[in-house]
């Protein structure tokens, strides 16, 4: 079930596509907040003007602009549009490409509620019972009974949660800051004004804060207008559809490919083709490492959030990460060989792919939400499209890369086809959180068993990525 933040994001994306196609996007941008929150309409916050301000920032992010880039609150959206794409009303035909995005996420200050700091608190459900288990179990003596109710001294409380479990009335609860709680590396914190702020020196672009914020204050900087303007200029664009697409859209994969061409792409490939290459190369690399050192440990390298994690927080683990490229990279190489003048567009559920794409020279990344908005904005019914027969991955295991254990399964199958009786001592990190980061550190020290570790930032794999359509 979609929440209100997801609904407004998709509504804005579809409006952008339709206004762009109608040649009125630049002139329409500043009217969208007013159309969505008219003067006599209902507001979801304190007033319609607050709502309009938030919608403006959302539109900035969909233009690919960081909220931090705003220096003048009175600056209209059409001027931001001009800054990025040039001053033109019709299809951005002569506009330059958007500037490369250094960071894929940004925070909308007006949308952030300034959540109170995480704390263990006693609620009105407290009965002041005679047993008083909360006071006896607290290791720091942080709880006392005042006026017949338990009171927690926050200067002493260490948030261990023992009192929460001890209370027979469940009167003690732990309040959290959702974005901070979700971040596995402590990269998002409230600033001096109480508004969430991302420390990009620590951020691994996993998108967990993006999903966790109930106010939709963490926003993804879109590249949808870059793709639309390239189409309008008549450039070749090849869509590379991630294996996680399974069950994201109605109809078959072949019908989705037909819909992709109908939407304006020159060609389309499934990234599972690249996954076949990744499987072969990663297996060969692993077998070579094992032959060189039987006690070696290697981890997969397909998840860009995990690669970012190692680079920023686990430098001692760098040598254990496979040097094999991800399926996206190998698919892009195929596109460049077959269509040297084409621009590559990866379509998937991942925010961190934007970081990898920038490093590897992929031209654009569209989330499933953005890709779906193009189809919806252009009124393309996937089920009604003729199936497009394109070369597809021969091995079904390549399509399972998007699911936890999928990469392990593919490597094991490839290795056993080369070596009789081969056994893989594999382990899985099914979702990166603070506990699994600590677990990886133990693996790096050789304190946990296993010689092959598959790491997925999202529980269940890429199919549950932050920009999945179906969660």
Element housing 237 (H / E): strand 237-241
Q: What is the pLDDT at residue 87?
A: 54
Q: Which of 161, 169, 159 is nearest to 132 (CA)?
A: 169
Q: What is the pLDDT at residue 91?
A: 40
Question: In terms of DSSP H, where are the helices of 263-300?
Answer: 272-292
| Beta-bridge partners for 29 | none
Q: How far apart are CA 149 and CA 144, in angstroms?
A: 8
Q: How far apart are CA 411 and CA 427, in angstroms?
A: 13
Query: Could you tell me the domains of the chain?
Result: 4-114+180-230 (no CATH), 119-175 (3.30.70.20), 236-464 (3.40.950.10)
Q: What contacts 24+ positions apart, CB below 8 Å, involve 87-95?
A: 87/26, 88/26, 89/23, 89/24, 89/26, 89/27, 90/23, 91/20, 91/23, 91/229, 91/232, 92/20, 92/225, 92/228, 92/229, 92/232, 92/233, 93/229, 93/232, 93/233, 95/229
pTM of the model: 0.91
Query: How open is the CA angle 272-351-404, to the nearest 5 degrees?
Result: 50
User: How many CA atoms lie within 13 Å of 248's alpha carbon, on the beta-carbon side?
Assistant: 26
The two three-digit tokens of residue 447, written as one number: 């304190």
The two three-digit tokens of residue 307, written as one number: 């690669």
Q: How far apart are CA 334 and CA 340, in angstroms?
A: 10
Q: Which of 163, 389, 101, 128 is nearest to 270 (CA)?
A: 389
Decide if 309 contacts 432 (C-beta within 8 A): yes
Extract the residue ranges of the chain whose pLDDT is less than 70.
Answer: 86-101, 471
Q: Concatenated DSSP letters for 304-372?
A: HHHHHHHHHH-GGGGGGB--PPPHHHHHHHHHHHH-TTPEEEEEES-STHHHHHHHHT--EEEEHHHHH
pLDDT in tens, 89-146: 444 444 434 444 579 999 999 999 888 888 999 999 999 999 999 999 999 999 999 9
Find all residues with CB under 8 Å of 323, minimum gap 6, and list them: 285, 301
User: How many CA atoms lie within 13 Å of 27's alpha carbon, on the beta-carbon side?
Assistant: 8
The two three-digit tokens of residue 464, written as one number: 């549950």
Q: Which of 353, 336, 371 is nearest to 231 (CA)?
A: 371
Going from the C-alpha of 135 to that of each of 114, 169, 242, 391, the distances in angstroms are 31, 14, 53, 67
Q: How far apart are CA 217 and CA 203, in angstroms?
A: 16
Q: What is the pLDDT at residue 45?
A: 86
Instruction: Report, in angstroms and rounded to the nearest whole number, the Rg of the chain calculated over CA atoms.
Output: 25
Decide if 157 contacts 119 (C-beta within 8 A): yes
């Amino acid at each position: 079930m979609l929440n209100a933040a997801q609904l407004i994001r998709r509504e804005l994306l579809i409006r952008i596509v339709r206004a762009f196609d109608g040649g009125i996007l630049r002139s329409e941008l500043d009217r969208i907040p007013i159309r969505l929150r008219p003067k006599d309409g209902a507001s979801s916050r304190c007033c319609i003007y607050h709502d309009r301000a938030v919608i403006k920032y959302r539109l900035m992010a969909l233009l690919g602009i960081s909220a931090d880039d705003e220096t003048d609150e009175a600056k209209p959206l059409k001027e931001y549009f001009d800054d990025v794409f040039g001053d033109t009303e019709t299809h951005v035909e002569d506009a330059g490409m958007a500037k490369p995005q250094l960071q894929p996420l940004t925070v909308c200050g007006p949308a952030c509620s300034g959540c109170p700091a995480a704390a263990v608190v006693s609620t009105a459900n407290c009965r002041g019972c005679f047993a008083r288990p909360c006071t006896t179990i607290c290791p720091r003596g942080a709880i006392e009974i005042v006026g017949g109710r338990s009171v927690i001294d926050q200067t002493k409380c260490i948030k261990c949660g023992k009192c929460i479990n001890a209370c027979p009335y469940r009167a003690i609860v732990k309040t959290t800051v959702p974005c901070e709680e979700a971040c596995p590396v402590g990269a998002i914190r409230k600033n001096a004004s109480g508004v969430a702020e991302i420390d990009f020196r620590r951020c691994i672009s996993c998108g967990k804060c993006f999903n966790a914020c109930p106010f939709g204050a963490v926003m993804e900087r879109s590249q949808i207008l870059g793709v639309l303007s390239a189409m309008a200029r008549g450039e070749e664009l090849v869509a590379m559809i991630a294996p996680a697409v399974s069950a994201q859209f109605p109809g078959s994969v072949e019908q989705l490919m037909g819909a992709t061409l109908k939407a304006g792409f020159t060609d389309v490939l499934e990234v599972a083709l690249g996954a076949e290459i990744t499987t072969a190369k990663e297996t060969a690399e692993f077998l070579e490492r094992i032959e060189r050192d039987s006690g070696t440990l290697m981890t997969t390298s397909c998840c860009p959030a995990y690669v970012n994690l190692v680079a920023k927080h686990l430098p001692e683990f760098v040598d254990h990460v496979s040097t094999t490229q991800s399926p996206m990279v190998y698919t892009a190489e195929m596109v460049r060989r077959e269509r040297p003048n084409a621009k590559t567009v990866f379509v998937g559920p991942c925010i961190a792919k934007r970081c990898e794409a920038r490093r590897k020279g992929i031209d654009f990344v569209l989330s499933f939400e953005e890709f779906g908005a193009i189809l919806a904005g252009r009124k393309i019914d996937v089920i009604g499209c003729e199936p497009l027969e394109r070369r597809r991955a021969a091995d079904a295991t390549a399509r399972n890369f998007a699911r936890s254990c999928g990469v392990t399964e593919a490597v094991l199958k490839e290795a056993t086809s080369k070596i009789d009786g081969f056994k893989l001592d594999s382990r899985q990190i099914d979702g990166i959180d603070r506990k699994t980061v600590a677990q990886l550190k133990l693996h790096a020290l050789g304190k946990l068993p296993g010689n092959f570790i598959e790491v997925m930032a999202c529980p269940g794999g890429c199919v549950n990525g932050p920009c999945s359509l179906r969660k």
